[in-house]
């Protein structure tokens, strides 16, 4: 499956890509929400998106809202992977359309278990 990893930090994209590739997935990377929308468009959609919150240009929350507003891509599952650990922020992301939420720091096991719980 093709998975989009959206994070402004290269090292976080590398870490998440490593985990996803070990699970047998193909990875598309984007450095911010705007870049991610472009990559989704170019890819003709992806099977899943892992999205950071705090990014320049377009943050993860606005990316999720934009994705949910697009009739072509609104069904793409989204898991937020972020340092935003406050419950209010989690609720905000879920209300915006995120399907799951992981806080940083994480271990590979946490990511794999979350994805399995989402059916991946």
Partner 1 sequence: MTTQITKNDLLTIVQQVFESMMGLQVEDDSQAAADLSVGEVSMATICISGGWNGIIIFQSTRKLASKIAQGMFQLDEESISAEETKDAFGEVINMVGGNLKALLPGPSSLSLPNVVLGTDCSWDVPGGTTVLVSLFRSVGEPMSWSVIEEQKK
- Measured distance CA(44)–CA(41) in Å, rounded: 5
| 18 binds partner 1 per the rule CB under 8 A | yes
Total residues binding partner 1 (CB under 8 A): 23
Q: Binding partner 1 by CB under 8 A: which of 41, 56, 69, 117?
A: 56
Report residue 105 as tokens: 């720091």
Task: For the chain, state the CA radius of gyration.
Answer: 13
Residue 82 makes contact with partner 1 by CB under 8 A: yes
By CB under 8 A, residue 8 contacts partner 1: yes
* H-helix segments, the chain: 10-22, 33-43, 60-68, 87-96, 108-117
Is 10 among the residues that bind partner 1 (CB under 8 A)?
Answer: yes
Q: Which of 54, 75, 91, 117 binds partner 1 (CB under 8 A)?
A: 54
Helix and strand counts by DSSP (H, E) for the chain: 5, 5
Q: In this chain, which of 2, 65, 68, 104 binds partner 1, going by CB under 8 A?
A: 104
């Amino acid at each position: 499956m093709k998975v989009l990893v959206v994070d402004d930090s290269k090292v976080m994209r590398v870490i998440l890509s490593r985990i996803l590739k070990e699970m047998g997935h193909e990875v598309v990377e984007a450095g911010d929400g705007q870049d991610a929308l472009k990559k989704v468009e170019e890819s003709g959609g992806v099977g899943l998106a892992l999205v950071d919150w705090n990014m320049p240009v377009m943050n993860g929350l606005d990316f999720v809202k934009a994705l949910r507003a697009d009739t072509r891509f609104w069904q793409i599952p989204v898991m937020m992977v972020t340092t935003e650990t406050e419950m209010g922020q989690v609720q905000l992301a879920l209300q915006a359309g995120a399907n799951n939420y992981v806080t940083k720091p994480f271990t590979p096991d946490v990511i794999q278990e979350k994805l399995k719980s989402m059916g991946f």
